[in-house]
Chains A and B, each alone.
Chain A
Amino acid sequence: MIKAIGALLLRAAVVLLGTAILTFALLWNAPGDPAQTIAMARFDALLTDDVIDQIRDEVGLNTNFWHAFRAWLGPLLRFDFGYSAVTGRPVWPDLWTAMTYTFPLALAGLASGLALSLPLAILATKRPGGLLDRTSVAIASLGAAIPAYWLGLLLILLLAVQLGWLPAMGARTPAHAILPAVTLGLGVAASLTRIIRSGILEARGQPFLPAIRRRGVDGRAVARDHIAPHAAIPVVTVFGLELAFLLEGAVLIEVIFGRPGLGTFLVQAILSRDFPHVQAVVVLTALVFVVVNLAIDIIYRAIDPRIGTEDA
């Protein structure tokens, strides 16, 4: 177990380093002159070559790739993201503020997604193939087919504009988070419902269940102690994918609902060629991914220790 976790950690480190190199290389080789774009963003005017050269010097664009990469990576390892190329302010405080908006939103999305999909899946599996089951599968498939930005607009139109129940734009009060969280959650619920449903159905077909029931264990205990853990395995597996969906969804949703957060932060950074900002978001996202997937791998091994051993 310790050895396996060590191997997982090593893999995580390699993924992170790879992401860092790739991000840096992509931005370094992006078309156009970043110095000029930064100058535009900073001073909102076309400038002389002197000023642009000065910016190039200041931002570190006039050295070679590896030199610049090392100059960036060194501080990054100490969690120092450097300074914004546009505003000159340190990246971290702004990034942190963005995170405090996005992460709670993503978690709320995940929570509402689970809260919707779990009862729906359990209800659906009461009678597989029945009307309830087919309806919930149909709803889930429809939900998965609807893009988040369209659903978001639809919800704004209905609940904010027509009925006026909830605020739509901004992030002033917690109530402002409800619509974006529900929009995210519906997307999550669509895919989770199907996964949980098939997980439960497959778990119910496990060959040892009849004998355990015949031993006199009551149905509730069988569901809790034997069906649920088996059904959880595929659900845990897709959690990594759900996270990708959540972060990607959050970017869109923040822009639609006019909320600050990582999405808005990233879009602004890209438009103004603020390399340190873009790099910070990508590295942070990669870090979240790696940490979550690491946690999933460990949880996985806790549920089913056969995974990753020769017995599997």
Chain B
Amino acid sequence: MTLSVSGLSAVRSGRTILHPTSLEIPLQIRIGLVGSSGSGKSTLGHALIDDLRAQGHTVAHVPQSPDEALDPLRSMAFHWREAETALGLPPGSADQAGLFGALKIEGGDLSKRPWGWSRGMQQRFVIAMALIGNPDLIVLDEPTSALDPVVAAATMELLSAFLTGKDTAMILITHDLGLAARRVERLMVMDAGRLVETGRTEDILERPKTRAANALSTHRNWMVLPC
């Protein structure tokens, strides 16, 4: 099965921020949606989620920071139950122990509110919540930029390990090609509201065709350490 969307576009206050875009997402694939800030990555991500949902697919979304995902007045248990209910599952039916184990948040106290957890734990909880019910696709929008590097790296590592062998496809939205390159097999490069280049990760890293892809590839890391 392949997820496919066509003719996605978006206009905000008279300006086209996403030109008509079509794409196909095979199962199990991990794709990086990369581009500079303002290139329309998040807009495409949102449009994609809405369209696939309308087609009846299950698509989960993880925003940049846990502050954008969790209500500080509600307990973690409440959020979990709410997510289950929203998917039409009876409360308590999701494999909470399995997901918490995979993301290493077994120790978290669910009766606490989000701010009773560390930020890294909160973000992993949000990812675990997104994975309830094995969605067809999980879209992560800059999932690590609000975290400290050590926590961010561990979170990406755990997520990659969890997704290996699962049917769930992943789209990683980021401005940082260096981050995406280590996690995805395909890249989609955006520039000024258009998808300008798609291809295998190695190809775009080594032989970028467009100006945008070239800039991202050239500046994908701060330096190369001689070993």
- Contacts of A183-230 to chain B: CB distance below 8 A: 206-208, 210-212, 214-218, 221, 225-226, 229-230
Per-position contact with A for B128-158: 1 when CB-CB < 8 Å, else 0? 0100000000000000000000000000000
Which residues from B are CB-within-8-Å of A210?
63, 68
Chain A: interface size category: 20 to 34
- Are B70's CB and A214's CB within 8 A? no
- In the complex, the answer to whether B61 meets A211 with C-beta atoms within 8 Å is yes
Q: Which of B78, B82, B115 contacts A306 (CB 8 A)?
A: B115
In the complex, A207 Cα to B69 Cα: how many Å? 8
Residue of B nearest to A213 (CB): B86
A284, chain B: closest CB distance, angstroms: 35
Q: Which B residues between 68 and 88 are near A, CB-CB below 8 angstroms?
A: 68-74, 78, 82-83, 85-87
Decide yes or no whether B67 CB sits under 8 A from chain A.
Answer: yes
**A115 within 8 A of partner (CB):** no
* Most chain B beta-carbon contacts within 10 A, residue among A208, A304, A311: A208
| Chain B contacts for A206, CB-based, 8 A | 71
Could you jot down 10 A-B contacts, CB within 8 Å? A207-B68, A208-B68, A210-B68, A212-B71, A214-B46, A215-B60, A215-B61, A217-B86, A225-B78, A229-B71
| Cβ contact of B63, chosen from A211, A216, A303, A305, cutoff 8 A | A211
Does B183 belong to the interface (CB within 8 Å)?
no
Q: B86–A225 contact, CB under 8 A? A: no
Question: Contact: B74 with A225, CB < 8 Å?
Answer: yes
Contacts known (A225-B74, A304-B73); A214 close to B68, Cβ less than 8 A: no
B63, B73, B82: residue with the most chain A Cβ atoms closer than 10 Å? B73
Identify which of A207, A214, A303 contacts B67 (C-beta below 8 A).
A207
Does B216 lie at the interface of the complex (its beta carbon under 8 Å from any beta carbon of A)? no
Expressed in whole angstroms, the minimum distance between the Cβ of B180 and any Cβ of chain A is: 22
Looking at the assembled complex, report how far the CB atom of B106 sits from the nearest CB atom of chain A, in whole angstroms: 23
Partner of A208, one of B49, B71, B85: B71
Contact of B49 among A214, A230, A304, A311 (CB under 8 A): A214
Q: A217 and B82 in contact (CB under 8 A), knowing A211-B61, A306-B115, A311-B115?
A: yes
Contact for A226 among B49, B67, B71, CB less than 8 A: B71
A102 to chain B, nearest CB (A): 35
Q: For the complex, is B19 an interface residue (Cβ under 8 Å from A)?
A: no
Residues of chain A within 8 A of B63, CB atoms compared: 210-211
Question: Are A216 and B73 touching (Cβ within 8 A)?
Answer: no
B73 and A229 contact, CB distance less than 8 A: yes
Residues of A within 8 A of B115 (CB): 306, 311
Chain B, residues 108-144, CB within 8 Å of chain A (1/0): the string is 0000010100000000000001000000000000000
Give Cα A77 to B88, complex, Å: 58
Q: In whole angstroms, what is the CA distance A216 to B130 when docked?
A: 11
Contact B74 A211 (CB under 8 A): no
Q: Distance (Å) between the CB of A221 and the closest chain B CB?
A: 7
Minimum distance in angstroms from B48 CB to a CB of chain A: 12
A-side contacts of B69, CB under 8 Å: 208, 211-212
